Structure 1
Amino acid sequence: MSMFELNAKIELLDEDGNKTYGLVHDYVDGKLYVSTTPDEIDLKIFRINDKVRGVTFKGSKGTSFDGVVTNRTSDKLLIYEISKIGNFTEVQRREDVRVTCSMPLYFTNNPGVLKMDSSFLYENIEDLKEISDRAIVSDLSAGGMKFNTKERLEANDEVRLLFYIEKKPFILKGKILHKMINIVRSSTNYSYGTKFIDITESEREAIISYLFVLMRKNRIR
């Protein structure tokens, strides 16, 4: 078990970003066995020959790898056999994974909007867009983002953020940690490092899954 630690937590994702969680059950003759429970209806059940990306962590160090599902057995536990394992990459802890991207962002530091409940804002999303400024997200993590805009903000400002991941809206509250000023000819632009301060666990997991999809696409390119 030099490559994989027995009973270590592991996440498997297919090429579309569908995921399941499990434990390292065994590693024999170059084949990894991952156990999970067959009644987890919210998680992906993989088929034989599905290509997957695995991510497992030991302490502060993580490893991602590619593989193929070559067998699947089910009793009290659902066990996947993963073969053709390769393309090992050291990764950051899941919550720290940060990926370069480019996506539209709506944001506002309007005090009234900051006090509004997220459920109300989701119900009135078009109104939120109308009163918000525009920006471009340049990198994203489960803990925050960096975005670029012509609008001026200050460190410690709180902002409402609206962005889309695969057509699904995310409305989060963020706090500006730092800013950088970029002056090009007569135009001034600002880059803001922002921390999410009200993100739920389900929102965090959705962002993490999307980040690993982006990482896979970037490697293919």
Structure 2
Amino acid sequence: MVVKGVVNIGEKIEVVVQERLNADEKACFSMIQDVPQDDELWITMPMLKGEPVVLSIGQRVRINFFRERGKFYFDAEVIDRERTDTVHLIRLKQVSPIHRLQRRNFYRLKINLPVGFQVIKEGSDQGEVNYLKAYTADISGGGMRLLTDEKLEPGQQLKCRIPLGEKDFLELKGLVVRVVPCVERNYKFEVGVKFVDILEVEQDRLIGFIFQQQRRLKAKGLI
């Protein structure tokens, strides 16, 4: 599959750059300016924390873009550069098919979200849910790390209420997989939670929300 017809002019993307062998990859912010060929696109010079990231002719990068169904990516090569009066542009050629990020490779975002949870007691009627309060240390499409003063035990099942907007919540079932003393902040426990019995549509909504928050934080130079 080629990029033309899949990505859109004006769309925000990530450009993943590895500057040298064995160096850490850096995910930079950019925007699509034009799609002149089926397998080519012009993008703005990538930015990282407000600073431009210079790309060289022949350099390979990975392009990440996002849809409601999750995260997609393809490899590209820098084939041209151009400077106008207002912007630096990079021309890329697609050199791999478009792939969807595999579920086991969920991106984990460090963010503090207020989460409500309740321990599910086997054989009992939960009735009206009275949620206990916690905050995420990080979250992904597969689970989250909670900060709380409530003592939980590995193996317990939770009903979790995750905010996706001012009046929009996602209710998911979670399994406690790890409980350790909290050393990061002023909470007693750090709790690792794995989402279970999650529907694909719910997971896609969560992934879409996570990448929306990631783009917002990057635009502010916070990550």
TM-score, normalised to structure 2, is 0.57
Residue correspondences, number: 159
Q: Superposed, which structure 2 residues align to 1:6-45 within 5 Å?
A: 23=1, 25=2, 33-36=3-6
- Are 2:200 and 1:201 aligned? yes
The structure in which a higher percent of residues are strand is 1
Distance 1:70 1:197 in 2: 40
1:172: which partner in 2?
172
Indicate how the Cα distance of structure 1 residues 66 and 104 shifts in structure 2: closer, same or farther if over 3 A, else same: closer
Q: Superposed, which structure 2 residues align to 1:30-179 within 5 Å?
A: 33-36=3-6, 46=8, 48=9, 50-54=10-14, 66-71=29-34, 81-84=41-44, 86=46, 95-111=105-121, 127-128=128-129, 131-167=130-166, 168-179=168-179
Report % sequence identity: 18
Indicate how the Cα distance of structure 1 residues 193 and 81 shifts in structure 2: closer, same or farther if over 3 A, else same: same
Structure 2: unaligned runs, 5 residues or longer = 17-24, 48-60, 65-100
RMSD: 3.8
Q: Which runs of 4+ in 1 moved over 6 A?
A: 89-92, 112-116
**Which amino acid is 2:145 matched to?**
K
For residue 110 of structure 2, give the secondary structure of its aligned residue in structure 1: strand
Q: Could you tell me how far 1:181 is from its partner in structure 2? A: 1.6
1:5: which partner in 2?
none
Distance 2:34 2:183 in 1: 57
8 Å CA contact 1:71–1:82 kept in 2: the answer is: yes
- Are 2:215 and 1:216 aligned? yes
TM-score, normalised to structure 1, is 0.57
8 Å CA contact 1:64–1:90 kept in 2: the answer is: no
Q: Could you tell me how far 1:89 is from its partner in structure 2? A: 7.3
8 Å CA contact 2:115–2:134 kept in 1: the answer is: yes
